[in-house]
């Protein structure tokens, strides 16, 4: 990528350095991951909500953001997860990056243990060990960010995850990345509306990419969703789901905020 380093470049560089220093046995980690109970069905949960006519909400547990600072540094992960489930969330997303987002594997385990919802490990996957580690900590799905990975890595990590029975949310920012995601076998594609350089939210990006999305793909909109109005516009553009973090974390009534997002598509119709 040309130009000045983006926030993603800096975070991914830190994760790649950590992966290079990792001396754990990949074979042992893979065996431990394979021994876990079957994962919950993340993509199926999104489809089940969409089939009702509602917008599927992937509700995120997020303590802080590199751009916004602390959101709720002392949050109780199980309590937040339960509120999201009460509000009708289809799935959870849990940040496990510690350095930049204040998350942890403990947050994911605690949140997943409190609810029956499938859980996405929201982190920066840069090595096969990251996928195996996600399954060991209980994640049902992993995130692959196209902008951070080579084509070979996308295909490899996607295969590792699906081989473990996990779903894979593949994140894209533009048409070229959408093509690369499709080539890697993605069936669940997230469109991040946030520009990697300026960090601004561009709603036209989501609308443009929704129109380019092949049939049979479950489309998820990410970033910049500040309430039912913006969520309804995304539903109208063709998105089956939204992934929402900051708006929900900052809400005084998290369950009600999830319900409002979920029902916005039906209200719009």
Catalytic status, residue 25: no
Q: Does 60 participate in catalysis according to the annotation?
A: yes
Q: Could you report the per-residue pLDDT of 102-142, keeping only the tens digit for each?
A: 999 999 999 999 999 999 999 999 999 999 999 999 999 99
**Would you say residue 226 has pLDDT above 80?**
yes
Tell me which of 177, 222, 230, 246 is the catalytic residue. 222
Domain at 74, CATH number = 3.20.20.70
Residue 266: pLDDT over 80: no
**Concatenated DSSP letters of 22-61:** --S-HHHHHHHHHTSPPPP-HHHHHHHHHHTTSPEEEEEE
Interval 13-28 mean pLDDT: 94
Contact (CB, 8 A) for 61 and 81: yes
2 assigned to some structural domain: no
For range 133-161, the mean pLDDT: 97
Q: Is 62 a catalytic residue?
A: yes
State the number of CA atoms in the 13 A half-sphere of 219 facing the CB: 23
pLDDT confidence of residue 268: 41
Assign residue 141 a region: left if phi > 0, alpha if psi is -120 to 50, beta otherwise? Answer: beta
pTM: 0.94
Of 132, 241, 102, 254, give the one whose Cα is nearest residue 94: 102
The verdict on residue 15 lying in a domain is: no
Tens of pLDDT along 159-206?
999 999 999 999 999 999 999 999 999 999 999 998 776 677 888 889
pLDDT digits (tens, 9 = 90+) for 71-106: 988 999 999 999 999 999 999 999 999 999 999 999
Q: Is 171 a catalytic residue?
A: yes
Catalytic residue among 25, 32, 34, 62: 62
Instruction: For residues 88 and 127, give the distance between their C-alpha atoms in angstroms, rounded to a whole number.
Output: 33
- Whether 163 and 194 have beta carbons less than 8 Å apart is answered as no
Contacts (Cβ under 8 Å, ≥6 apart) of 105: 96, 133, 137
Residue 150 annotated in active site: no
**Residues near 128 by beta carbon (within 8 Å), at least 6 away in sequence:** 26, 30, 156, 157, 160
Whether 85 is covered by a domain: the verdict is: yes
The predicted structure's pLDDT at residue 202: 82
Range of the domain at 231: 40-268
Q: Is residue 225 part of a domain?
A: yes
Beta strand pairing call for 69-70 and 64-65: antiparallel
222 has catalytic annotation: yes
* 153 assigned to active site: no
For residue 127, the model assigns a pLDDT of 97
CB–CB of 269/235 below 8 Å? no
Q: Which one of 93, 133, 177, 223 is the catalytic residue?
A: 223
What's the gap between Cα 143 and its chain centre? 6
The total domain count for the chain is 1
With respect to residue 177, please indicate whether it lies within any of the assigned structural domains.
yes
- Facing residues of 57 across strands? 242
Instruction: State yes or no: pLDDT of 67 exceeds 80.
Output: no
The confidence score (pLDDT) of residue 269 equals: 37
Task: Let me know if residue 21 belongs to a domain.
Answer: no
Query: According to DSSP H, which parts of 115-244 are helical?
Result: 128-136, 151-163, 175-183, 203-212, 228-237
**Active-site option among 93, 133, 177, 192:** 192
- DSSP-assigned letter for residue 142: E
Please identify which of the residues 93, 122, 177, 230 carries the catalytic annotation. 122
Instruction: Tell me what pLDDT residue 1 has.
Output: 42
- In a domain? residue 24: no
Instruction: Give pLDDT, residue 3.
Output: 58
The answer to whether 128 and 157 are in contact (CB under 8 A) is yes
**Catalytic choice (171, 177, 230, 263):** 171
Owner of token pair 């916005």 = 264
Give the mean model confidence (pLDDT) for residues 7-36: 93
């Amino acid at each position: 990528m040309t130009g000045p380093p983006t926030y993603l470049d800096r975070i991914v560089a830190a994760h790649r350095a950590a992966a290079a220093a990792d001396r754990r046995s990949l074979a042992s980690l893979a065996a431990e991951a394979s021994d876990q109970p079957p994962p919950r069905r993340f993509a199926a949960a999104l489809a089940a909500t969409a089939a009702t006519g509602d917008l599927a909400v992937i509700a995120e547990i997020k303590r802080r953001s590199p751009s916004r600072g602390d959101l709720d540094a002392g949050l109780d992960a199980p309590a937040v997860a339960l509120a999201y489930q009460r509000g009708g969330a289809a799935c959870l997303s849990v940040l496990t990056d510690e350095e930049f987002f204040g998350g942890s594997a403990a947050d994911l385990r605690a949140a997943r243990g409190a609810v029956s919802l499938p859980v996405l490990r929201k982190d920066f996957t840069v090595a096969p060990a990251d996928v195996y580690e996600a399954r060991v900590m209980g994640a049902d799905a992993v995130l692959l960010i196209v902008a951070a990975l080579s084509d070979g890595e996308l295909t490899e990590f996607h295969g590792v995850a699906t081989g473990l029975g996990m779903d894979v949310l593949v994140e894209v920012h533009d048409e070229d990345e959408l093509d690369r995601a499709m080539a890697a076998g993605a069936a669940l594609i997230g469109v991040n509306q946030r520009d990697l350089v300026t960090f601004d939210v561009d709603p036209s990006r989501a609308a443009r990419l929704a129109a380019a999305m092949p049939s049979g793909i479950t489309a998820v909109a990410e970033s910049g969703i500040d309430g039912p109005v913006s969520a309804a516009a995304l539903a109208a553009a063709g998105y089956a789901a939204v992934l929402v973090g900051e708006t929900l974390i900052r809400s005084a009534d998290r369950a009600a905020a999830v319900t409002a997002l979920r029902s916005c598509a039906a209200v719009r119709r």
